Amino acid sequence: MEAVTVAVMAESIHFDLSTTTVRELNQFLHGPADTLTGRQVVVANTDGAHNLAVGLNAAVHVTLQGHAGYYAAGMNQHATVIVEGSASTGVAENMMSGTVHVKGFASNGAGASAHGGLLVVDGDAGLRCGISLKGGDIVVGGSVGSFSGFMAQAGRLVVCGDAGDALGDSLYEAVIYVKGRIASLGADAQIEPMAESDVAQLAQLLKAAGLSHDPHDFKRVASAKGLYHWNADANQEY
């Protein structure tokens, strides 16, 4: 295997994907956690490449200078990954911990099945944002597409703009907070009163995302719990 070409500049490690492959980048980022923890890695000329910074398992700080393709920062643990552009399908998919911050827009399935950590999207997110969420937190500065929060089992999704159709369809214990308009709610989702605990938690999430919205302006969407037990007489009508 050829040596990885990197440059060490001002305590940061720099990769240029115009001369280095994604495989070489990820092999470096999969190195021993004790040698990566606390390091700053800057990646230039991302040009929408797929699978950037996936499967990280160290508290390393990675900055992607440009747009990212499919599954950027997927399966993340401990790392902080900044995308200084937009991200395609599945950004932060199955994230376990750490932080992923997309400065632009996110495509379909952002934060899908995330078990932990925080995903921040400054712009809009596409369809199925937070699908099958299992405990992570997602904060979207803009709007989300249809079927966001579908089958979300745990965690929190914050939408500072509008939400598309079928929001929270088949929702379980996850909670969705929406500031703007909701096109429609999915099966078994309902709008509930905001408790003081919701306001406090939402304020913390907004602060962590660097946003200054008033948490009192949001609506809480949660499960009506009609789907918790199968009802053969319901004929699929909930």
The two three-digit tokens of residue 19, written as one number: 């001369």
Contact 50, 70 (CB under 8 A): yes
Place of tokens 């401990």: 78
Place of tokens 């997927």: 74
> What pLDDT shows up at residue 56?
98
The two three-digit tokens of residue 139, written as one number: 């904060």
> What pLDDT shows up at residue 2?
38
Measured CA to CA, the distance from residue 1 to residue 49 in angstroms comes to: 21
Report domain extents, the chain.
1-103, 105-211+218-224
Task: Identify the bridge partners of residue 157 per DSSP, sorted by sequence position.
Answer: 138, 176
Measured CA to CA, the distance from residue 211 to residue 140 in angstroms comes to: 10
- Taking only the tens place, the pLDDT of each residue in 142-155 is 999 999 999 999 99
Segments of the chain scoring below 50 in pLDDT = 1-5, 8-10
Contacts of 86 (CB under 8 A, 6+ apart): 67, 68, 102, 104, 105, 106, 107, 123
> What pLDDT shows up at residue 235?
63
The two three-digit tokens of residue 99, written as one number: 């932080």
> What pLDDT shows up at residue 11?
73
| Cα–Cα separations (whole angstroms), residue 87 to 36, 157, 161, 185, 235 | 24, 18, 19, 26, 40
Q: What are phi and psi of 31, to 5 degrees?
A: -70, 180
Query: What ranges in 74-180 are assigned the alpha helix state H?
Result: none
The two three-digit tokens of residue 128, written as one number: 């199925």
E runs forming strands in the chain: 7-9, 12-16, 40-44, 61-65, 80-83, 99-102, 118-121, 134-140, 154-159, 175-178, 189-192, 219-223
Task: Identify the bridge partners of residue 232 per DSSP, sorted by sequence position.
Answer: none
